[in-house]
Amino acid sequence: MNDFNPLDLSDRKILITGASSGIGRATAVYLSKLGAKLVLVARNEDRLNDTLDKLEGDGHIYIVADLIESDDLAYLFDEAVSDGVKLNGLVHSAGIPFAMPLKFLTKKRLIDVFNINYFAFIELARQYSKSKYNKGGSIVGVSSIASEKPRLCQTAYAATKAAMDISVQALSLELIKNDIRINTVLPGMINTDIIQVSKNQGLSMDSVGKRQIMGMGQPNDIASTIAFLISDMSNFITGRNLFVDGGSFLYLS
């Protein structure tokens, strides 16, 4: 019987930020189904517990943390490997959507968005790269189609995601010596809580269809792509920005 499965993650331990909702939660559930042991990170303990209850397998833990409270996240990784088992992967899904007209876009507001969407990503990668925390593996950052096709008032948000995308290209050159790959995924419009709020505010599915030829995406569409980048199936991919956008990049008007 052939039991070959390059998506098998039963020997992997993955840290996921933003695991309390949306793409982060969907990714946690998806990776658990592939056998991974997970370290879930988010600010809301109740929502982290909800995610934990949805996972398959055992040995998962969660850590309540605010990624912008500290400039040094070593404490987070110390706790993550306190059982003596190093990490095989990191998924940074934590982030904030942000739209604001230029006239209100102060330096403080810019910094607030960069703190979680970009600076935290770099600090997480910096800590993960330390040999005491990792056994090689893969880092995946959740970027956005906005980094290539920003919409009205997305100046700050698009800039944070574009910063992630270009940074993984540079970081891949440094991290490969530690047997670490690093990539981003660029989701289009995904049916998360944020989209539900937008629908309540008047976003129509017809308008989504005009922006994405495959219509609205689902969180598992992104989770499955992240699983691919975490797994051995992507062993020859690093420093890349992978579009998972339902064809929105083809819509030019």
One-letter amino acid at 229 equals L
**Active-site residue 157, yes or no?**
yes
Ordered alpha helix ranges (H), the chain: 22-33, 45-54, 74-80, 107-114, 120-128, 155-175, 193-200, 205-211, 219-230
The catalytic position among 30, 62, 133, 157 is 157
**Distance between CA atoms of residues 242 and 236, nearest Å:** 14
Bridge partners, 242 (sequence order): 185
Sheet holding 13-17, edge to edge: 61-64, 37-42, 13-17, 87-92, 134-142, 180-187, 241-244
The angle subtended at Cα 185 by Cα 132 and Cα 123, nearest 5°, is 35
> Catalytic residue positions?
157
